[in-house]
């Protein structure tokens, strides 16, 4: 290849990288990237282990125990059942921010049961007292908070399109100091310090933030086990009434929360495909399984996306002109396939999410331009 030809290819690559930078910065490819990611994740499920079990507040339990909310003495009885079964730790994804003024003995009973267990995590979430008001951290009542072993935030990480693809491991008012509920449960149930290894995640800088702003940090993407119903569940009332064998609960992390429609959060996730929505308690189960197995996925930051994209954009300039690769369309097709394959391989093998759509857009634009140039050359000859 002549020096002029080489210089032209280098110049073309530099222009491509510049365009890629603009496309990445604009975020115009995000919707297509999300669609590609979700499609892939719906075909990448797995069978979760037996470390996590959900005690579900399901229609069966509502029919047996009565209308929601239930007296907190009922939750106390459930916790005692779990304590007797020898569970590792308990996460209660149930809001209890107001005291039971009519029956304070119920709060006392639950607090006593929490102390007997010694490993109960209670939820924290942001809420404004009135529309447009200042955010406050909603904790359990002081009596219940004093009996809790830890607290964890239950803020689901919804993307701009309303779909949940990951989780913030830390969040809080003014500073992200609360661990996610699932992470707090995992930390309480650790058998040894050796299991408590740092996670791969992306950190953001939170400087000069308002003390009244809910801040989230340490974002990871989740490899969901599958759509709703993928994790082991036992009915709340079956545990309450002693119908669930202790062997199904012993040494397991337990998450208590609503799966019945209308009681708790129902989330669209990358694993649902817009079909059945996932209860918030199962979202926490996926997060707990992921952090325990170190199976979280890390979205590459802007620099990482640009570096990989720049390397991919060099491929067509290196391939063009080889035997069988003298057509811009053929080279573009090979490069596009390599682009998608690289994205999937990085996700599955390295746990890195590299969005490929911006790079594909630049390849497509370059192909159109090269085809026009080839057409002009053929016309002139």
Coil, strand, or helix at residue 178? strand
Q: Which H or E run includes 109?
A: helix 104-117
User: For the chain, what's the residue count?
Assistant: 381
The pLDDT value given to residue 294: 87
Q: How confident is the model at residue 274 (pLDDT cuts 50, 70, 90)?
A: low
The pLDDT value given to residue 122: 97
Q: How confident is the model at residue 134 (pLDDT cuts 50, 70, 90)?
A: confident
Rounded to whole angstroms, the Cα distance separating 195 from 165 reads 25
Average pLDDT, the chain: 88
The pLDDT value given to residue 320: 63
Structure tokens at 207: 């400087």
- Ranges of beta strands (E only) in the chain are 52-57, 89-92, 120-128, 135-138, 150-153, 157-158, 163-173, 178-179, 214-221, 233-235, 253-258, 266-269, 278-279, 298-299, 352-353
In 3D space, the residue among 267, 307, 260 whose CA is nearest the CA of residue 161 turns out to be: 267
What proportion of the chain, given as a percentage, has pLDDT over 70? Answer: 86
Exposed e or buried b per residue across 26-65, where buried means at least 16 C-beta atoms within 10 angstroms of its C-beta? eeebbeebbebbbebbbeeeeebeebbbbbbbbeebbeeb
Q: Give the number of other Cβ atoms within 10 Å of residue 357's Cβ.
A: 22
The pLDDT value given to residue 200: 47
Coil, strand, or helix at residue 362? helix
Q: How confident is the model at residue 369 (pLDDT cuts 50, 70, 90)?
A: confident
Region 367-377: mean pLDDT is: 69
* HEC-encoded secondary structure of 66-108: CCCCCCHHHHHHHHHHHHHHCCCEEEECCCCCCCCCCCHHHHH
Asked if 68 and 269 touch (Cβ cutoff 8 Å), the reply is no
Q: To which residue do tokens 């990085």 refer?
A: 346
374's CB contacts (< 8 A; 6+ apart) are 327, 328
pLDDT at 8 over 80: no
The pLDDT value given to residue 325: 61
163's CB contacts (< 8 A; 6+ apart) are 34, 38, 268, 269, 270
Q: How confident is the model at residue 331 (pLDDT cuts 50, 70, 90)?
A: confident
Residue 180 pairs with which residues in a beta bridge? Answer: 153
Q: Please state the pTM of the whole predicted model.
A: 0.89
In 3D space, the residue among 65, 13, 86, 367 whose CA is nearest the CA of residue 254 turns out to be: 86
pLDDT at 227 over 80: yes
pLDDT at 201 over 60: no
DSSP state of 198: P
Asked if 111 and 147 touch (Cβ cutoff 8 Å), the reply is yes
Backbone angles phi, psi at 352, to 5 degrees: -110, 130
Q: For residue 160, give Cα distances in angstroms to 97, 115, 157.
A: 29, 40, 10
Winning range, highest mean pLDDT, from 73-77, 96-100, 209-213: 73-77
Coil, strand, or helix at residue 228? coil
């Amino acid at each position: 290849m002549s020096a002029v030809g080489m210089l032209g290819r280098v110049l073309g690559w530099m222009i491509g990288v510049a365009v890629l930078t603009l496309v990445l910065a604009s975020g115009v490819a995000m919707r297509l990237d999300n669609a590609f990611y979700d499609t892939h994740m719906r075909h990448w499920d797995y069978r979760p282990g037996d470390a996590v079990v959900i005690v579900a507040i399901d229609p069966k339990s509502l029919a047996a125990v009565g209308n929601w909310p239930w007296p907190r003495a009922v939750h106390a009885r459930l916790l005692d059942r779990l304590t007797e079964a020898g569970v590792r730790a308990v996460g209660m994804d149930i809001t209890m921010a107001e005291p039971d003024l009519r029956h304070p003995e119920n709060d006392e009973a639950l607090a006593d049961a929490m102390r007997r267990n010694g490993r109960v995590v209670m939820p924290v979430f942001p809420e404004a007292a009135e529309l447009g008001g200042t955010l406050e951290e909603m904790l359990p009542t002081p009596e219940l908070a004093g009996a809790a072993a830890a607290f964890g935030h239950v803020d689901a990480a919804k993307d701009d399109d309303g779909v949940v693809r990951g989780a913030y491991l830390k969040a809080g008012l003014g500073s992200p100091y609360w661990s996610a509920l699932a992470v707090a449960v995992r930390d309480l149930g650790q058998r040894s310090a050796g299991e408590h290894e740092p996670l791969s995640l992306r950190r953001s800088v939170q400087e000069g933030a308002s003390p009244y702003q809910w801040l989230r940090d340490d974002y990871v993407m989740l490899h969901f086990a599958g759509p709703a119903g993928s994790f082991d569940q036992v009915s709340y009332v079956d545990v309450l009434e002693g119908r669930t064998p202790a062997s199904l609960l012993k040494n397991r992390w337990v998450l208590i929360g609503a799966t019945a429609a209308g009681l708790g959060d129902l989330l669209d996730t990358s694993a649902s495909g817009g079909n059945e929505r996932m209860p918030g308690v199962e979202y926490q189960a996926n997060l707990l399984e992921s952090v325990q197995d170190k199976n979280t996925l890390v979205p590459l930051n802007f620099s990482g996306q640009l570096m990989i994209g720049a390397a991919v954009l060099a491929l067509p300039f290196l391939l063009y002109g080889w035997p069988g690769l003298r057509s811009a369309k053929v080279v573009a097709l090979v490069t596009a396939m390599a682009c998608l394959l690289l994205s999937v391989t990085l996700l599955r093998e390295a746990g890195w999410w590299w969005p490929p759509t911006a790079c594909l857009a630049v390849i497509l634009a370059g192909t159109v331009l090269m085809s026009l140039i080839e057409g002009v050359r053929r016309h002139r000859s």
